[in-house]
Amino acid sequence: MNIVTHGFRAENTVVALGNFDGVHRGHQLLLSALLSHTDKTPIVFTFDRHPFSVLSGKAMPLITTNDEKCALLRAYGINTVYMAHSTPSFLQTDANAFVTKYLVKELGATHVVVGSDCRFGKNGSGTPLLLQEMGKALGFCVTCLEKLYDGQTEISSSRIRQLLTDGDVARAEALMGHPYTISGTVVPGRHVGTSLGFPTMNLALPKDKIMPAPGVYASQTQIGDSVHLSISFVGTSPTYQTQTPLIETHILDASEDLYGETVTVSFRRFIRPTMHFPSPEALIRQVETDIKSIKEGEPYA
């Protein structure tokens, strides 16, 4: 994939503009419209940091890291991503100047694809209507797509973040069109799982990545090119009185040492909330029940 930024030059392009956090089904409609212009070079214009985080100074928990976002965009057929540096000065660019400098002069856009809720430029003053008006003067066309709904539910990144916070990873997956994943490096843990007969991998959570609701999940773990059924625990442990949030994953059909390796855990189904157990034996019995429930819930698409 070609990841470019300020100063890049192109001609005769079709550009999709947005945050694309999660690359959900609504985003995928934009990508389909983008790729339908086979006589133009398709480019996705997005941001290296969420504008809300930059302007407010408050962290915005993300569904996808930049690497994950780009990997999903590549999987959906995009080869070039313009990753704008979300500095305060850039985000204060006048909407008209944004269109002229970045979409027209740098990217050479002859067609722009946006969602109906797209906002850009200083104070979010840029709208699809402004794009259409400027397009008439500057020589580009605009496709504006309405919001996508799943039944009565609007498909949006904010809605998906809320579902993940609630632990409803299955519903979040339905709105995204792919599972919610966390990729990380396996780090040494407390070895409690090993002592109980369920060795676990401990993952370091990427910065700014949203943490699903505390609890136990049916999951799948990718190690290299292989994918394994797994059970994952998210949160602090009331039984062992830990305060630091954990992501611990036990692979059901493998026991290899993965310290230092990068793995990807896909969260497929919420099993139960965190619980306090009076003894290690009670915890073992519950984990055995959880694993049985996960195996009976297979297969995953």
- Please check whether residue 81 is in contact with residue 70, taking contact to mean a CB–CB distance below 8 angstroms: yes
CATH architecture under which domain 2-153 falls: 3-Layer(aba) Sandwich (3.40)
Q: 180-296: what fold?
A: Elongation Factor Tu (Ef-tu); domain 3 (2.40.30)
Distance in angstroms (rounded) separating the CA atoms of residues 177 and 174: 5
Per-residue pLDDT for 15 more than 50? yes
pLDDT (tens digit per residue) in 225-278? 899 999 999 987 554 455 566 788 999 986 667 778 889 999 999 999 988 888
DSSP-assigned letter for residue 182: E
Q: Identify the burial level of 188 via C-beta atoms within 10 angstroms of its C-beta, where 0-12 means exposed, 13-18 middle and 19 or more buried.
A: exposed
Fold matches, 2-153 and 180-296: no
Residues 6+ apart with CB under 8 A from 251: 201, 221, 223, 228, 229, 230
Residue 185 pLDDT grade (very low, low, confident, very high; cuts 50, 70, 90): confident
Distance in angstroms (rounded) separating the CA atoms of residues 284 and 281: 5
- Nearest 5°: CA angle at 164, between 159 and 168? 100
Residue 190 pLDDT grade (very low, low, confident, very high; cuts 50, 70, 90): low
pLDDT (tens digit per residue) in 193-207? 565 667 788 887 777
- Please check whether residue 169 is in contact with residue 270, taking contact to mean a CB–CB distance below 8 angstroms: yes
- Domain boundary assignment for the chain: 2-153, 180-296
Residue found by looking up tokens 């959880």 in the block: 290
Respond yes or no on whether the N-terminal peptide bond of residue 51 is cis (omega within 30° of 0).
Answer: no
